[in-house]
Amino acid sequence: MKKLIFALIVILNLNPAHANEVTIKDLIYFESKIQSLLENKAELADDPSAESRHKKIHNFTNNFGHQLLNELKEDKPLNGYQLAILNLSVGAYLQISSEYYDKLTAIEPSRTEFNGSNRTLSWAILYSQLLQDYKQTYDLFYRSTALRRVVKDQAELNNSGIGNLEEITKKILNKNKIKKLESIIIDYQLNSHKSKNKRLRAKLHSTYIYKLVEQDKSLKEFYKFGSFGISFSDGFANTTGSLTGGLSAGFGALVGPIEWREGRLYKNKKAQKELLKKLKPLDLLLEKKSFKLTDYTIPGHWGHIGVWLGNEEQLREIGMWDSPIIKPFQEKIRQGYSIYEVRRWGLVWDTLDHWMNLDAMAVIRHNESASYGEKEYSRVFKELFSQIGKKYDYSFDAMTANTITCTEIISLSYGPVNWPTTKVVGRHTLQPDNIAALVFYENSPIELVTYLEGAKTGYAFKSKAKFASLIGFRAKKSNRSQFHEKFRKCKRSKYRSNRRGGIRFKNECWSEYKDYSYEAPFDHLDGNNL
């Protein structure tokens, strides 16, 4: 019997029915399901489909919110997939809740007394359910400091469905309407005999709001929901971010222009030609400029990363050249501007010829792109182009979407990838070296395509092992195709040089190695219930 139980546990652990590894196809799927729900409107509030529609988006959004909360409690950064679903689901929840509330006004009683009508009972039931569900969702996303900051950042995005959060919340959690509901329920308790509809009465009795009133508890908690202003913890984080951001911006403006020569690969047509043969749309380009002062202020080896959008021929090959997403930029791409990147002064386009004013570069590819069809390519390109107009993120916070860096447009656009981050001043930052290091994780979602180095007399395509050594990784002796990170560890110890000598200190140092394994993003979402 024990063996049977153990076997079942193993099977359940190997095949978790509750969680699925997600891909960009899942993001597209959820977007289409939520869009369908938004379009499928009911005419009347007491139409069962209206109640069902609201309950569907409520359950989906709350389920997802709890997942995000668990991630944040474990101090994990949210990825682009999670931020996109958050914006989408909360935006849809607000819209559907607002529409549902507006339809309720059609059956809202004019008086605060219970008159025995089914219509008054229906309004009390539906509004009670809406209040309970909405307050539950509001508390989920706003009581957690970390999750509240993410929601606030998402609300600041252009065309964000969350932008009207404050307006809709104040409308639904309306003090006068809640007091009217409270009065009707109190009067109903005294005059319930006026209603002969047992089904509606039972439904009202089952609501959380009714039970609160029945226990002589006030409904103040529903309209005293607190301020949308910035709390102390939010204010401290914003002040810290503004301070460090301001310092970064000032320092960047000061040292940014300082460089003392041209790059080793600049105007090397032969290197460009060879490189172009290796490139595919949406490849990532790492940059190293040893002649530029800013490269010495960025942690790690690589100083910058850009996106290769593809040239006309490549975009035709994947069926995207005539896409409505690419069409507005066709002329730019025809002129050679196929590199899309974020610099301190904003989002810019560049040519390969100009971009290769550098000493070394590497090309990295997202493995999943090999199976992309038109929908998947469209989703990534659409997200990339939606970053146009955003300001530079001088606070380097990987979980903000309102401002961006060269690495953050990648995390926001490439869907469900758990990019490794570095914690700096309490924030998760995504640095070019973090993206490069992911190449050497076991089961990594990205791969190295090529690594190119320039020299005074030419150029050379270097090995993966050489690329690894730049960021502290080494090939394993047991398997040269696998890599681990090498780092030095030291311990300070005391000793006496002789019996009468004083105490001295010495450092003992040795090398250690660390293996990394990629943890793919999972979720517990079920789109079938939308």
pLDDT single digits (tens) 467-484: 999 999 999 999 988 999
Residue 456 confidence (pLDDT):
84
Token pair of 161 as six digits: 């469905």
Cβ contact 405:430 at 8 Å: yes
Q: Which two tokens stand for residue 397?
A: 């916070």
Reply yes or no on whether the pLDDT at 218 is more than 70. yes
For residue 510, count CB atoms less than 10 angstroms from its CB and return exposed for 0-12, middle for 13-18, buried for 19 or more. exposed
Predicted pLDDT at 15: 36
* Structural domain contains residue 263: no
The pLDDT value recorded for residue 148 is: 92
pLDDT above 90: percentage of residues in the chain:
55
Q: Please tell me whether residues 200 and 134 are part of one structural domain.
A: yes
Query: End of a domain among 450, 468, 486?
Result: 468
Token pair, residue 333, equals 């791409």
Q: What is the structure's pLDDT at 156? A: 86
> pLDDT, tens digit, for every residue of 151-205?
999 888 876 778 788 889 889 999 999 999 999 999 998 888 888 888 998 999 9
> pLDDT > 70: what percent of the chain?
85
288 with 424, same domain? yes
221 lies in the same domain as 278 = no
Mean model confidence pLDDT for the chain = 85
Give domain status of residue 120, yes or no.
yes
Check whether 72 has a pLDDT greater than 90: yes
Secondary structure class of 204 (helix, strand, coil): helix
Tally of structural domains, the chain: 2
Tokens representing 33? 């399901």
Which of the pair, 54 or 253, is modelled with greater confidence? Answer: 54
Q: Any idea what the CATH number is for the domain that residue 391 is in? A: 3.90.1720.10
Residue 8 reports pLDDT greater than 70: no
291, 434: one domain:
yes
Whether 441 is in a domain gets the answer yes
Q: Which of 95-104, 378-387, 518-527 has the lowest mean pLDDT?
A: 518-527
Task: Indicate if 432 and 333 belong to the same structural domain.
Answer: yes
Flag whether 494 is in a domain.
Answer: no
Interstrand relation of 20-21 and 522-523 (parallel, antiparallel or unpaired): antiparallel
172 and 281 within one domain: no
Characterize 432-456 residue by residue with b for buried, 16 or more Cβ atoms within 10 angstroms of its Cβ, and e for exposed: bbbbbbbbbbeebbbebbbbbbbee
Provide the domain limits for residue 106. 20-229
Identify whether residues 305 and 220 lie together within a single domain: no
Q: How far is CA 482 from CA 35, 69, 109, 436, 442, in A?
A: 43, 34, 71, 15, 8
Same domain, 278 and 130: no
Residue 85 lies in a domain: yes
Domain shared by 312 and 454, yes or no: yes
Claim to verify: residue 170 and residue 307 sit in the same structural domain: no
pLDDT at 296: 59
pLDDT at 500: 65
pLDDT at 247: 47
- Write out pLDDT tens, residues 423-467: 988 889 999 999 999 999 999 999 999 999 988 888 999 999 999
Say if residue 58's pLDDT is above 90.
yes
Among 468, 487, 504, the domain boundary falls at 468
Tell whether the model's pLDDT for residue 510 goes beyond 90.
no
Whether the per-residue pLDDT at 422 is higher than 60: the answer is: yes
**Nearest in space to 207 (alpha carbons), one of 90, 51, 93:** 51
Q: Are residues 316 and 462 in the same domain?
A: yes
Last residue of a domain, one of 196, 229, 262: 229
pTM, two decimals, is 0.82
Q: Report the pLDDT value the prediction gives residue 418, as an integer from 0 to 100.
A: 94
* pLDDT at site 386: 93
Domain annotation covers residue 102: yes
Domain co-membership, 106 together with 206: yes
